[in-house]
Chain A
Amino acid sequence: MALLDAQTLSKLKGVKLRARAVVDGVLSGLHKSPHQGQSVEFAEHKEYAPGDELKHLDWKAYGKFDKFYVKRFEHETNLRAMMVVDASGSMGYGSGALTKLDVAKVLAATLAHLLVRQQDAAGVSLVSGSTVREIPPRAAATHLQVVLDTLESAEAKGTTDFSGLADQLADTLPRRAMVCLFSDFFDDRADALKRLLALRARKHDVAVFHLVDPAELTFPFDDPTLFLSLEDERRIEVNPREIKQSYLEEFTRFLNETKQACTAADVDYERVRTDEPLDQVVLRFLSRRAGGGRP
């Protein structure tokens, strides 16, 4: 497992190889069937139409209503998962071997791979400023290549705009879907995260992967430094030693607030350090979901 840390992954070129490695790691770490996530719960009745499987005819309903109805079950409806990857400029930061965007891409690709492998539909949405590049979720194996290629081509640029993204996702995800958000959530707008989490209210299953670079957590700077923004023209010269305490307080508060907001919105929250083994991250995520618990 430990072989799949950021340092090792960075030696693999491309999202596909990295995702493949993580998937293998994840599969070898699972002890239960990867299909256990399939639902067999009753979903709805549908009036029989030629072509429907007869085995699903609800004879009790025929007795009551004298019409043929066919039972629809959840497992019959593919899980529609959308990997939403924040490709803003700030995601391009990495103090170690991988940037936050690299990690986000690997995680998204891994999850997409796992979903498609169990006949679920996986799509991807790359968000960079107000631009959203979206690949709708599909379950076809060939579609996975499209998803991976899209992730592969993602570059960190532009600003973070979760407000616009939330609106767009609300429009393009009409049915209940799983939304996996990969972002550092550096959006200064006050209600940005709330609007994104509001997807949960629309019955979407939302999971948040909060990507954090170790340097952002520890602020390991000493000498006077000119900090440059990765998204705009902002820059500031400070003596890091003088503001370190205050920075760490601010950043910790931000992390806690983000997590609390997710918890309050009944959203899975997974904080991901870019230097930790990604298979561990995925396993941790899957096991939590398997347990049905939310953070």
Chain B
Amino acid sequence: MTFAHPWMLLGMVGALIPVLVHLFDRRRPRQVPFAAISFVLRSQKRTASRLRLKRLILYTLRTLLLLAVPVALARPEWVETGVVRAAKGAAATVIVVDTSLSMRWSAGASLFEEARAQARSAAQELSAEEPASVLPCGHAVASVAPLNFDRAQLISSLSELKPTYELADLNRCLDQAAAAMSESPLANRRIVLISAFTQSGLRLESPPPVSTGPKGEKIKPEIVLRDVTGGKSLDNRAIVDVRAEPAPQVGPRAWQFTWTVRNFSDTESRDVEVVLKVEGEVVSKGFVDLSPHGTAQKVMTYQFTKGGSMLVEAQLTPDALVEDDTRGLVVAVPKELRALIVNGAPSAQKFRDEAFFVDAALASTGSPVRATVRDADAAWREAFADYDVVLLLNVSAPPADVAAKLVTFVQQGGGLFMSMGDRVEPDAWNAVLGPVLPRRLRVVKTAVEPGAADAATRAARLQQVSPTHPVWVPFTGRAREGLLSTRFYRYMLFESDTTQDVEVIGAMDDGAPAFLTARKGRGRVLAFASSVNRDWCDAPIRTAFLPMVQRIAGSLSGTLDEREQTRARVGEMVSLPLDQGMVPTALKDPNGVELAMTRAADGSSVSGGPLAVPGRFTVPMTNGQSLSFVASLDPAASDTTRFATEELAAWFGEEVVKSSGLTGPSAKTPVWTWLLVLGVLLFFFEGTLLRR
């Protein structure tokens, strides 16, 4: 016997009322002198035994009535164990076993273990002339094996079932099971559905399963529901989302993580511990309070000590479904960039110094760049290989040997930024730096003299910038307007070139390229057509200048590409963009198992999956690098809110649900309606007795 509202049973105390009334209600009777008292005495004597019996029956009826009402309100259900009502005659049977994440819910033994035991029980209870098959039901619905009479094989296949980490699509599974039985010559059809019946797995707005008979007629299969939860609610908490973003206000390489925690239970959870782990090491702890079916966000900040791809996870205090208590992501923490700023026009006055504004931008708080400023002569003596990026700011063409070193530096993966100025001789540059120039320099164009009275109106402006390029991605809205309003008085024109690998990521209003970028070997170059001080333009005093310089440095070093997080979900395929030169060798799951993958024909991406398990996946490359990402659980799979038995029975149709609300291998029969009928009858008898 189970009760839907057990607290209603407290009302049974009311059954004491008749006894208490009898014990304590000693009202003083009215005294009446009466002449015919002999007849009263005689009548009392005559009826005494009958009255005693009547009184006893009345007390019993009233007590039962007062017991029946609270018990009925508690909605009891009679549990018959070991009962699975068979259909009339042999029936083609498909046993559908829910393998979704919710079946991993465990209080001692997991629900899936219970499901497997019930599936075995259901298989054993089938008669010999009933063909049967098993359908594991996850997100991706497998095809149903042909129905056969081999029970040993059926039970063996049950042993091989495993729970997944996905959301089950019970509707599709039921349709598939119904379709599989259409081939059967038997008139009776039966689907044994073994599940926890979470609301996320079944859509009641869809039509219930219908099978097709031998003559094409529609047959509603008999549905045997086996509830593996024993009727109890499945309390669960889960981290359903995470958002990561840099937190420059905290410091360089600091990130802020916002974890979204949801409570799928009817009860409140207070002081739930949230542990932040970086690469498996606990770095921070916090607590959240969760209201029933509520959501809370926990913000945690961490400053990484080094750059690179980092696995960041949050973990809740484990509950019965531990799999969704952890959620992670891989963040690309910018490595510290070493930049060599070659100052072509040093000046004692800072604002006239060619490198002043660039140095200030790269040295600002939160910048991942550690810049070294050298004048040209000193810079040429530096070992470029010690830097990630070299910035040539209005420098004269370097000597040929230095230029060769620069070319080698770029070819081997270095980043080279070039800005123009009075000291840049196009011909000299073309001569020595031609291999690393995106385009050959042609001539300097003066839109207006910087000191002219109408300089503000006649100055050239940026006409367009490529919004998808990593350098310009942050520039949206007013930031973009500010960028486009930069005034250019003088700028370098480049030779026209049809080379495909040069990308103009910003152009003047006359169409002249303002920013050109290109890959040279393993490295990248970016040329800015104007100066980085105020001689040729007013860009340095624009608010866009600082982020622009930082992102140019990041782009040239390749770190901006790595920052884009790959969001992958368990049960789905994943597609990863590949940089030039990246050739993946494998796609490995967190356990090191290799998954099938396909590289795009143009080599720009690789896809693979489906991703069966949550955790960190890695894609090693031939060049020694590797990509990594985290596959996360579908938040809907964590929703363990269950359907009421009545809802399921109503959806399937009362007439076909044979074991609605089963608890294990058992059937529940609602008793409360009978109790109410009993209560009414008791009330009627009590009234009748009182009138007699």
Partner-B contacts on A (CB < 8 A): 89-93, 100, 184, 186, 188, 213, 215-216, 221, 223-230, 234-238, 242-243, 246-247, 249-251, 254
Contact = CB atoms under 8 A, between A and B. Distances in A.
Given A224-B29, A226-B29, A251 B47 contact: no
Given A236-B44, A242-B51, A246-B47, A254 B39 contact: yes
Contact of B33 (A223, A224, A228, A246): A228
Contacts of A224: 27, 29-30
A204 to B, nearest CB: 27
Contact of A90 (B29, B35, B40, B51): B35
A188 B38 contact: yes
A211 to B, nearest CB: 10
B40 A247 contact: yes
B457 interface: no
B35 A186 contact: yes
The 4 closest A-B pairs by CB, nearest first: A93-B35, A246-B43, A90-B35, A247-B43
A93 to B, nearest CB: 4
A92 B34 CA distance: 9
B435 to A, nearest CB: 120
A234 B37 contact: yes
Interface string B19-42: 000000001011111111111111
A33 to B, nearest CB: 39
A188 B47 CA distance: 20
A89 B41 CA distance: 17
A184 B46 CA distance: 23
B35 A226 contact: no
B424 to A, nearest CB: 120
Contacts of A225: 29-32
Contacts of B31: 225-226, 228
Contacts of B30: 223-226
B54 interface: yes
- Central interface residue in A91, A186, A243, A251, by most chain B CB within 10 Å: A243
A99 B54 CA distance: 36
A237 B32 CA distance: 10
A250 B35 contact: no
A213 B42 CA distance: 19
A225 B27 CA distance: 10
Contacts, number: 82
A186 B38 CA distance: 8
A213 B31 CA distance: 18
A243 B47 CA distance: 7
A221 B38 CA distance: 16
9 contacts: A93-B34, A225-B30, A228-B37, A229-B37, A230-B34, A230-B37, A236-B40, A237-B29, A246-B46
A245 B98 CA distance: 69
Interface size band for B: 20 to 34
Nearest to A212: B36
A230 B41 contact: no
A186 B51 contact: no
Given A224-B27, A242-B51, A243-B43, 9 more contacts: A100-B35, A216-B36, A224-B29, A226-B31, A228-B33, A230-B33, A234-B37, A247-B43, A254-B39
Given A223-B29, A224-B29, A226-B29, A243 B40 contact: yes
Given A93-B35, A216-B35, A243-B47, A234 B41 contact: yes
Contact of B32 (A226, A234, A250): A226
Nearest to B33: A228
A193 B237 CA distance: 94
A237 B35 CA distance: 15
Contact of B36 (A89, A186, A235, A249): A186
Contact of B54 (A221, A242, A251): A242
Nearest to A224: B29
Given A242-B54, A250-B39, A227 B47 contact: no
Nearest to B37: A229
Given A186-B35, A229-B37, A250 B42 contact: yes
A221 B43 CA distance: 14
Contacts of A221: 32
Nearest to A247: B43
B184 to A, nearest CB: 69
Most A C-beta atoms less than 10 A away, residue of B38, B43, B54: B43
A93 B36 CA distance: 9
Interface in B47-63: 47, 51, 54
Contacts of B42: 250
B39 A247 contact: yes
A250 B38 CA distance: 10
Contacts of A242: 47, 51, 54
Contacts of B39: 247, 250-251, 254
A8 B42 CA distance: 35
Contacts of A216: 35-36
Contact of A227 (B27, B40, B51, B54): B40
Contacts of B47: 242-243, 246
Contacts of B38: 186, 188
A246 B30 CA distance: 21
Contacts of A184: 35
A150 to B, nearest CB: 23
Contacts of B33: 93, 227-230
A96 to B, nearest CB: 13
Nearest to A243: B43
Nearest to B690: A241
A251 B43 CA distance: 10
Nearest to A240: B40
Contacts of A213: 35
Nearest to A253: B39
A9 to B, nearest CB: 20
A236 B37 contact: yes
B181 to A, nearest CB: 67
Contacts of A215: 34
A146 B39 CA distance: 37
A92 B44 CA distance: 23
Specify which of A100, A226, A246 lies most central, judged by the most chain B CB atoms within 10 Å of its CB: A246
Contacts of B37: 227-230, 234-236
Contacts of B40: 227, 236, 238, 243, 247
A182 B292 CA distance: 87
Nearest to B28: A226
Contacts of A249: 43
A58 B47 CA distance: 70
A238 B51 CA distance: 11
B56 to A, nearest CB: 13
A228 B35 contact: no
A249 B43 CA distance: 9
Nearest to A254: B39
A216 B37 CA distance: 10
Given A223-B29, A224-B29, A251-B39, A243 B34 contact: no
Interface in B366-420: none
A91 B36 CA distance: 10
Nearest to A222: B30
